[in-house]
Amino acid sequence: MCGIFCGVNCRIENCEGLQNYLKRRGPDFNSSVDVTVDKVSLQFACSILWQQGTFLCSQPFHGQNYIMLLNGDIFNIPDKVRTISDTEWFGKMLSDCTDLTNVCQLLQSLEGPFSLIFFNKTTHDLYICRDSLGRTSLIVEKEKENIRFMSISGNSKGSNKIAMELPPLGLFKINIFCPFAWQLYPWNQICGTISNEIESLTNVLGLSVSFGEHMKPNWMRTDLKSQELFNFYEICKMDMSCSGLFESLLRNSNLMSALNEFSNLIERSVKDRVLYTPPRCKNCLHGNNDCSHTKIAVLFSGGIDCSILAAISNKYIPARDPIDLINVAFQKVGVFGETSWDVPDRISAKTSLVELQKLCPQRRWNYVEVNVSREELRSYLQNHIKHLIYPLNTILDESLGSAFWFASRGKGKCLGREYTSPARVVIVGSGADELFGGYMRHRNAFRRYEGNETEKIANLQKELTKDWSRISTRNLSRDDRVVADNGKTLRAPFIEENLVHFVRSFSPSQLCCFLLRAGIGDKLFLRLYGYHIGLKEVAILPKRAIQFGSKIANKKQNAADRSLYL
Q: Is residue 521 a contact partner of residue 514, using CB atoms and an 8 Å limit?
A: yes
The set of residues, in sequence order, having a beta carbon less than 8 Å from that of 345 and lying 6+ positions away, is 301, 302, 303, 327, 328, 329, 544, 546, 549, 550
Rounded-to-integer distance, Cα 197 and Cα 317, Å: 40
Q: Which residues contact 363 (CB under 8 A, 6 or more apart)?
A: 314, 319, 322, 323, 356
**Dist. CA 300–CA 290, nearest whole Å:** 27
Q: CA–CA separation, 355 vs 534, rounded Å?
A: 8
Q: Is the dihedral of CA 377, 382, 388, 390 positive or negative?
A: positive
Taking the C-alpha atoms of residue 148 and residue 166, their distance in angstroms, rounded to an integer, is 11
Nearest alpha-carbon partner for 43 in 100, 126, 113, 108? 126
Phi-psi region for residue 91, left (φ > 0), alpha (ψ -120 to 50) or beta? alpha
- Cα-Cα end-to-end distance for the chain: 24
Single out the residue of 447, 431, 428 nearest to residue 521, CA to CA: 447
Q: Is 2 a catalytic residue?
A: yes
β-strands 139-143, 125-130 pairing? unpaired
Exactly one of 2, 10, 57, 414 is catalytic; name it: 2
Do 277 and 51 contact (CB within 8 A), yes or no? yes
SS3 state at 35: strand
H/E element holding 205? helix 192-205
Alpha-carbon gap, residue 273 to 269, rounded angstroms: 6
> Catalytic residue numbers?
2
